[in-house]
Structure 1
Amino acid sequence: MSLKFKIDGLFAGKPQPLGPRGALSSFVKNPVDVLTVNINGTEEDEQANTRLHGGPEKVLHQFSPVHYETLQKHHPEGHFTMGNMGENISVKGMDDTTVYIGDIWKFGDVELQISAPRAPCVKICHRFGIANLDRFVGERGMTGWYYRVIKTGKIKVEDDVSLLHREANTVSVHTLMQCTHNKTDKTLAASLATLSVLDDEWRQKCDKIANR
């Protein structure tokens, strides 16, 4: 399978107050030219809450720029643009319906594997000042996804992006999100619970749905 794109944007952030309580968060990120990627994170992007964010299964977050059009259409009161959803990577042509759990993608010289979706949280609401925006994002399965690192190095804006490997028995990020959100397809959930390339946290979510 030959799928090739280019990196349109890279983003990194530092912990800063966000929301009504001023809790520290790195959700707000700024454009950068380079990300230096290691097994547990990047040199440029910092995490405020390392218990819930970052680590080897959540090194980088990618969000599809096409979703900003949907967000702007349904929430014209907001200002949505590339980099606003806390993502590290933006690539036109890649979205939740066309990338699959376990995919290994090459970004320049760096190799990354899709480990799980990004579960939307209330920080999305705080970022844009729009109530229930996290629910809107989750219901439509346009959450973006996380990567674990296969090969470390530096990635740069306009680096080539190509698919190196796709698992034989897997699903798109969108399908997984719909399964865990709707909680009705126990057969699919049981199958996903055995998907070894899926992050353990999400396999446990699927197992709970399958055994409800």
Structure 2
Amino acid sequence: MKIVSTNIGGKKEVLWKKKKVITGIYKYPTQNPIFLDVEEVKGDEISDRKYHGGVDQAVYAYSLKHYEYWKPKYPNLDWNFGMFGENLTIDSMDETKIHVGDTFKVGDSIIEATLQRSPCFKLGIRFNDISIVKQFWNTTKCGVYFKVLQTGIVKVGDEFQQLKSYPENPTIADLLIKRKKEKAV
């Protein structure tokens, strides 16, 4: 697997249901390397630290192959990497095959898979269509949050190399399915 895009964004204020909302979901590709730090990607906006950032959600990654699934559903969007709020766009990441605790070397960093992305209304804001949230919940194309075990620089073209696998642990897709069931109760 390889990094096809590194993405960061700034703070953006949007109007949602007649209320001002601050968000960092508007991420765009950067030509510069990014630095994966212990609690965040340096230079990237995290507006809601209750649900984003921190040790277990320092980096969010999404798969390029998932873009091909979503593009036909939203053909009028101006598509660019970072659309899902991800810091790393990886060519062929699969949440049904990545387990909690799996570790990867990418650039100078070592990162560990921790959590699924549970979408909120801000994804609907980014897509200008709230129905994306329910559609997202109904797939396993959730992306992966990572803990940074070794800080470092990552750039486009870097290999995303698995170092350790923990097949006895649930997959990231399993976590999403479990979370969806909990929300339904």
Q: What TM-score results when the alignment is normalised by the length of structure 1?
A: 0.79
Structure number with the higher strand fraction is: 2
Give CA deviations for 1:38-96 in whole Å, capped at 9, x if unaligned: 21112221211222221111100001122222212233344444211100001112122
Indicate if the aligned counterparts of 2:28 and 2:81 stay in contact, CA closer than 8 A: no
**Partners of 1:177 and 1:66 in 2: how far apart?**
19
Percentage of matched positions with identical amino acids: 24
Matched, 1:50 2:45: no
Q: More relative contact order in 1 or in 2 (CA 8 Å, sep 6+)?
A: 2
What is the RMSD computed on CA atoms of the aligned residues?
1.9
Query: Which position in structure 1 is the counterpart of 2:27?
Result: 29
**Partners of 2:78 and 2:95 in 1: how far apart?**
22
Which letter maps to 1:159? D
Indicate if the aligned counterparts of 2:2 and 2:157 stay in contact, CA closer than 8 A: yes
What runs of 5+ residues in structure 2 fail to find an aligned partner?
none
**Partners of 2:44 and 2:124 in 1: how far apart?**
21
Indicate if the aligned counterparts of 2:124 and 2:133 stay in contact, CA closer than 8 A: yes
Indicate if the aligned counterparts of 1:19 and 1:127 stay in contact, CA closer than 8 A: no
Indicate if the aligned counterparts of 2:99 and 2:167 stay in contact, CA closer than 8 A: no
**Partners of 1:110 and 1:6 in 2: how far apart?**
14
Matched, 1:137 2:133: no
Q: Which structure would you say has the larger Rg?
A: 1
Indicate if the aligned counterparts of 2:117 and 2:176 stay in contact, CA closer than 8 A: no
Query: Which position in structure 2 is the counterpart of 1:11?
Result: 7
Alignment of 1:88-99 (within 5 A): 88-99=87-98
Indicate if the aligned counterparts of 1:11 and 1:87 stay in contact, CA closer than 8 A: yes
Which letter maps to 2:20? G
